[in-house]
Amino acid sequence: MAAATAVCLMTLSVLFISLVFKLVLDTVQCYFLIPRRIKNIMEKQGVRGPRPRGLTGNITEMSNLTSRSTANDMDSIHHDIVGRLLPHYLKWSNSYGKRFIYWHGIEPRMCLTETELIKELMTKHHLVTGKSWLQQQGSKHFTGRGLLMANGQDWYHQRHIAAPAFMGDKLKSYSTHMVECTKGMLQSLENAVKLGQREFDIGEHMARLTADIIARTEFDTSYEKGKQIFHLLTSLQHLCAQASKHLCFPGSRFYPTKYNREIKSLKMEVDRLLMEIIQSRKDCLEIGRSSSYGNDLLGILLNEMERKRPEGDKFKLNLQLIMDECKTFFFAGHETTALLLTWTVMLLATNPHWQQKVRAEVNQVCNGGVPSVDQLSKLTLVSNVRFNLFIFNA
């Protein structure tokens, strides 16, 4: 009996030591050997960059440079804002050229400004390039494995599945939602003015407007619940941004910190609300109240999940992936659009002459009414403003 116990203890000790040794070896390889090898390979190809500082890489330097450049308000409104928002890019591009490498923690990131090389990567190598492990870890709680974080064949399949929701005819059908939500926003501003308010944060109003529109186009009849999900996802995004600086330390995402506990709680609540919406669609289909899961983005994804896939197609769409896609399109369509609208309003406000010309054109084409989809092509000045903003942001 004693001999058997001793053998068991010895076996367990050997297994424990082996696991610890493997963990240490993997950690050393992941955090030290692989980054060093990548750095040497890139230097042999003539690609250099700022020296990384331990496990934090160049994060501290980027943070310090940005803090200094944005410490004071801008003296005047102008378009040359790269030096203010991305001072590290200007500094390193001046030192290392149009192609350089910098370090986000232990992860190397290549910065390219050569148009032809970027086109080649986007067209010829889009299935072998993609989001890194660290990027996926930083956003896994609020976008999961959605389209923005997918790589390779998964990215190809997910993009193909979501594409029908953004075809021309489909986008035109969303115009009613857009008009209704915009009217609501303008009415709230008018009510605030009548009550004596004179200053507004337009960015907040545009963020709510785009969130309302996406909530309707993604969830249609479950619009109110969609708005709840959006507010939870916004809080989740802010928490993940604050917690992401700890990702460079081994195993930090498993620590029961305040950030990690709050992130887990918010993620569970978002998933619960999404599952309620999905289950209600399933119930309506089963009892015959509906012939499909719907024509909105969620309905398209659920219908695709039920479709039989051809032999040899290993891609599988499941409920968790559907929820991740819904979260992804909240951010893909909300934040960028809200910023562009805010920037447009700011530029028109600082250029009254153009503001008057655009307003006169809208009144003339639409006869003082609400613009329709068919009238958009006749708004040439509005199109010019939109095109110039697109070129600027590109």
**11-32 pLDDT per residue, tens:** 777 777 777 777 666 666 767 7
Sheet strands (E) in 53-128? 99-104, 107-112
Residue type, 78: H
Mention every residue, 6+ apart, whose C-beta is less than 8 A from residue 161. Answer: 300, 301, 304, 317
pLDDT at 87: 92
pLDDT at 393: 47
Is residue 227, in this structure, part of any structural domain at all?
A: yes
Q: Are strands 107-112 and 99-104 parallel, antiparallel or unpaired?
A: antiparallel
Question: In terms of domains, do 133 and 147 share one?
Answer: yes
* Buried residues in 55-65 as b, exposed as e (16+ CB within 10 A): ebbbbebbeeb
Q: Which residue has the higher pLDDT, 242 or 177?
A: 177
Question: In terms of domains, do 306 and 371 share one?
Answer: no
Q: Which residue has the higher pLDDT, 118 or 245?
A: 118
Is residue 230, in this structure, part of any structural domain at all?
A: yes
pLDDT at 320: 84
180-184, 320-324, 336-340, 387-391: the lowest-pLDDT one? 387-391
pLDDT at 251: 58
Question: In terms of domains, do 112 and 131 share one?
Answer: no
pLDDT at 179: 87
Q: What is the mean pLDDT of residues 167-180?
A: 81
pLDDT at 3: 67
Question: What pairs with residue 104 in β-bridges?
Answer: 57, 107
Residue type, 35: P
Mention every residue, 6+ apart, whose C-beta is less than 8 A from residue 80. Answer: none
Q: Check residue 376 and report its DSSP letter.
A: G
Is residue 345, in this structure, part of any structural domain at all?
A: no
Tell me which residue of 59, 151, 302 sits closest to 294, measured CA to CA. Answer: 302
Q: Tokens 């092509």, residue?
A: 377
Is residue 13, in this structure, part of any structural domain at all?
A: no
pLDDT at 391: 46
pLDDT at 394: 45
The length of the chain in residues reads 394
Is residue 203, in this structure, part of any structural domain at all?
A: yes
Is residue 88, in this structure, part of any structural domain at all?
A: yes
Q: What is the pTM of this model?
A: 0.71
Q: Which residue has the higher pLDDT, 150 or 59?
A: 59
Question: In terms of domains, do 256 and 329 share one?
Answer: yes
Question: What pairs with residue 111 in β-bridges?
Answer: 100
Question: In terms of domains, do 121 and 132 share one?
Answer: no
Question: In terms of domains, do 289 and 369 share one?
Answer: no
Reported as a single tens digit per residue, the pLDDT across 199-225 is 888 888 888 888 888 888 777 766 677
Position 92 pLDDT exceeds 90: yes
Question: In terms of domains, do 361 and 333 share one?
Answer: no
4-13, 78-87, 146-155, 305-314: the lowest-pLDDT one? 305-314
Instruction: Give, for 311, the enclosing helix (H) or strand (E).
Output: none
Cβ 137 vs Cβ 253: under 8 Å:
yes
Domain coverage including residue 214: 127-338
How many domains does the chain fold into? Answer: 3
Question: In terms of domains, do 371 and 231 share one?
Answer: no
Position 178 pLDDT exceeds 50: yes
Question: In terms of domains, do 168 and 146 share one?
Answer: yes
Q: Which residue has the higher pLDDT, 164 or 324?
A: 324
Question: In terms of domains, do 142 and 132 share one?
Answer: yes
Reported as a single tens digit per residue, the pLDDT across 25-68 is 666 676 777 778 888 888 888 889 898 887 788 888 998 999 99
Question: In terms of domains, do 256 and 134 share one?
Answer: yes
Arithmetic mean of pLDDT over the chain: 79
Question: In terms of domains, do 139 and 111 share one?
Answer: no
pLDDT at 65: 92
